[in-house]
Amino acid sequence: MFLRTFGWSFAITVIGLIAAGLFWGPTGFGVVAILSVLEISLSFDNAVVNASVLKRMSPFWQKIFLTVGVLIAVFGMRLIFPLLVVGLTAHIGPSTVIDLALHSDKTYGGLTYAQHLHDAHPAIAAFGGMFLLMIFLDFIFEDKDYQWLRWIERPLEKIGKLDQLSVLVAMVVLLLSASFFGGSHAETVLLAGVLGLITYLAVNGLANVFEGTLEDGDEDEAEDAEGAPAAKNANASVAGVVGKAAFFLFLYLEVLDASFSFDGVVGAFAITSDIFQIALGLGIGAMYIRSLTVFLVRKGTLDDYVYLEHGAHYAIGALSIILMVSIKHDIPEIVTGLIGVAFILASLTSSIMRNRRLGEAEGAGAESEAVTSSKV
């Protein structure tokens, strides 16, 4: 399973690094390798959250995510999307933007492509920050089968019963961010943040609607035959959602990936100004994140380590706040990466300790039962 899942990632890594060495020499090889490692280290929590969504989808749509989704991630989110952002925020025509991107020494309005992209950071951070914040808030306010940090999660689940609380909290955070960090970009931050919120509500809402419709249809069909409900529902859960529901879940995953990649793309210009090196390096990293996502789903890792999803969502919540703060203050990527890794490792450790306690309890129970049976 490991080789089958990561085979394409290994192959693309080899091809990509060889191409980098041929086109840009040893320096280009090193730059692409560094960018790949950077993307993987910053996005592990992304893979865990992706897995929690992907396991709801059918095997066909999981393959779409691993194939078509990679093309969108590499060429769309890490190459074309930055061009669109620069063009829209700097009011530059498409041909001029492409020319600036291809020639790092050229300027428009006295600024290079990298500088224009940096100037677009407030809008990028507000959009991605709000999208990620909504993911975290919806998770922390919902009723969960397992609670990791109970002293936090129990009271939040209780107040989470208030309708649209996550939207209310997100809007308050956006207003505070625009006031304290927006400065001259306050209007841009508000507009981009609202667009991020709308995007989340639209994509996630449509996915939930179509998924609910699909489940209702399965239940209606199951009721037509006596004794069939359990079997049909079981088959439906194993097969995963399809059709429109899967399509909108796929869109949700792509926007989630974009929200994670924004900061990485901007930060990559601190390493190189060549957009093709950036796209290749971050693209290799994105491929591993997708392979890891599928691996987590197929191994049932989230079911075995029940707090792992909690840790990933806490990491996402921290990242959303970091993005909003970064509108005004520069925050090193290493800080973002370490915070995410810390939450993941802490939740993984808690999951392992929980599994060990359950195993010991089951062993003690079995031993007690055996002793009782022997006495009888």
pLDDT, position 231: 42
Q: Which amino acid is at 225?
A: A
Q: Tens digit of pLDDT for each residue in 310-332?
A: 988 898 888 889 889 988 888 87
Q: Looking at residue 270, what is its pLDDT?
A: 66
| Total domains, the chain | 1
108 - beta bridge partners?
A: 111
Q: What is the mean pLDDT of residues 297-308?
A: 83
Question: How many angstroms separate the CA atoms of 29 and 31, rounded?
Answer: 6
The lowest-confidence range among 25-39, 119-133, 209-223 is 209-223
Please, which pLDDT band fits residue 167 given cuts at 50, 70 and 90? very high
* Mean pLDDT within 6-12: 83
What spatial distance separates the first Cα and last Cα of the chain, rounded to whole Å? 47
Residue carrying the six token digits 């995410």: 340
CB 70 within 8 A of CB 287: yes
The average pLDDT across 171-189 equals 91
Residue 326: closest CA among 262, 273, 241, 251: 262
3-class state of residue 328 by DSSP:
coil
pLDDT at 176 over 90: yes
Q: Return the pLDDT at 208.
A: 73
The enclosing H or E element of 85 equals helix 81-90
Say if residue 44's pLDDT is above 80. no
Q: Helix, strand, coil shares of the chain as percentages rounded to 5?
A: 85, 0, 15
Question: Is residue 22 packed enough to be buried (19+ CB in 10 Å), middle (13-18) or exposed (0-12)?
Answer: exposed
The whole-number pLDDT of residue 222 equals 47
- The structure tokens listed for 64 are 């779409």
> How far is it, in rounded angstroms, from Cα 202 to Cα 363?
48
Q: Regarding predicted confidence, which is higher, 237 or 147?
A: 147
pLDDT of 173 reads 94
What backbone phi and psi angles, to 5 degrees, belong to 108? Answer: -135, 120
* Entry pTM: 0.78
The confidence band for 2, taking pLDDT boundaries of 50, 70 and 90, is: low
pLDDT digits (tens, 9 = 90+) for 205-261: 877 776 666 555 555 544 554 454 444 443 444 456 667 777 888 888 888 777 777
**DSSP state, 185?**
G
| pLDDT value for 288 | 83
**What integer is the mean pLDDT of 20-36?**
88
pLDDT band per the 50, 70, 90 thresholds, residue 1: low
Tell me the residue range of the domain where 231 lies: 2-375
| Phi, psi values for residue 18, rounded to 5° | -65, -45
